[in-house]
Structure 1
Amino acid sequence: MKKSLMLYLFILAILMNVFTYMFYSREVKFGQERYAKTTKKLRDSINLVTTKLTEANYFSLENNENAQNYFDNSASGGKVILYEKLIPVVTEKLLDYNSNPSGNPYTGQDKIEGKKFIINKVKILNHRWIVADYSNGEYWGEVLLKYFVADDESISFEVNQSLLYQK
């Protein structure tokens, strides 16, 4: 009787070990498959976001080689202006006009109800064009600007078109 009890306990222990092994091996396989699916989904999401970002930056000085070459005047004996350094300088110069008491003159708008218009966001499209967002806290608009970089590296702006959205 003692031998048969030990045999039954031994067989029960083996069966429990086999079932435990099968359970954990399938759990690991299930976890690996779930990890692979999640990783694939995340990679697809990253690729989608990267593609959208690339498409959104299509019109930018950073990605426009022809516009970048415009600032390379070394062939004609002129100066080379690095666009990486030019972008923050142009942006800062345009935003400096926000401190004007009557508002930024390059929004194309005068004060409305005593509130001045200031430029909030700037996007340099190429070697000639800038699009900017402006507001006075109540009204919002966008402006298309031309900018010029002189040989002495001074920057001038010109309002091409301004749009003020309805309230």
Structure 2
Amino acid sequence: MVSSSNMAKAYSQKAEAKTEKITRLENQVEELKDSVQKSSLKVLDMQYFSLENNDDALAYFEELNLQNPAAYVADKLLETNAQKGDNPLVPYEGMQNDFKINKIKVLNHKWILTDFSDGKYWGELLIKYEVKDDLGVDFTLIDHLLYTRSN
């Protein structure tokens, strides 16, 4: 026969194990909450310089009736890649292939930050832009750099 003290001891051990497991899970939940909060703050910080989160800059586009001005401007900038040879905004000659613009960050209603590459070498451009009444976009290179090391 199983004694009641052995049963009580087994029950107590199981209860202790469950309590420890609950405590571990609660700690993991708190760590995850902290991680989510830190990630959220990081995302907000990364979005600080973006047209989508700049009401003053977005007001500039209201009379043009552009639904998504950042995407519109980025598309127009990517069209400059279509011509044969290096992108005309990149002031370097491609060494492996033609230099083309890859990533685009529309900072506000006047400036864009991009990177460009020829597949091996890369650099960055700071571009000023203006959306005209006819929805054409003029781009002017403000500054540039070419990294001297290849990928």
- Code of the aligned partner of 2:73: V
Are 2:35 and 1:45 aligned? yes
TM-aligned CA deviation for residue 34 of structure 1 = 0.6
Percent identity (aligned):
34
The superposition leaves residues 120-167 of structure 1 with CA deviations (integer Å, 9 ceiling, x where unpaired) of 100000001000000112221000011111112122211111111112
> Does residue 106 of structure 1 match 2:89?
yes
Deviation at 1:16, TM superposition (A): 2.2
2:73 alignment partner, one of 90, 101, 117 = 90
One of 129, 138, 147 as aligned partner of 2:111: 129
Equivalent runs, 1:6-155 vs 2, <5 Å: 9=1, 12-73=2-63, 79-82=64-67, 85-109=68-92, 111-113=93-95, 115-155=97-137
Distance (Å, rounded) in 1 between the aligned partners of 2:58 and 2:113: 18
Unaligned runs of 5+ in 2: none
TM-score using structure 2 length: 0.90
How many angstroms apart in 2 are the aligned matches of 1:106 and 1:16? 82
* Partner in structure 2 of residue 157 of structure 1: 139
| Structure having the larger proportion of residues in helix | 1
The one-letter amino acid paired with 1:90 is V
Question: Are 2:57 and 2:108, in contact at CA under 8 Å, matched by a contact in 1?
Answer: yes
TM-score using structure 1 length: 0.82
Cα deviation per residue 1:35-68 (whole Å; 9 max; x = unaligned)?
1100100110111111111111111001111111
Aligned-partner Cα distance in 1 for 2:89–2:146: 13
The farther-off stretch of 57-66 and 94-103 is 94-103
1:130 alignment partner, SS class: strand
Query: Cα RMSD between the aligned structures?
Result: 1.6
5+ unaligned residues in a row in structure 1: which ranges? 1-8, 74-78
Moved over 4 A (4+): none
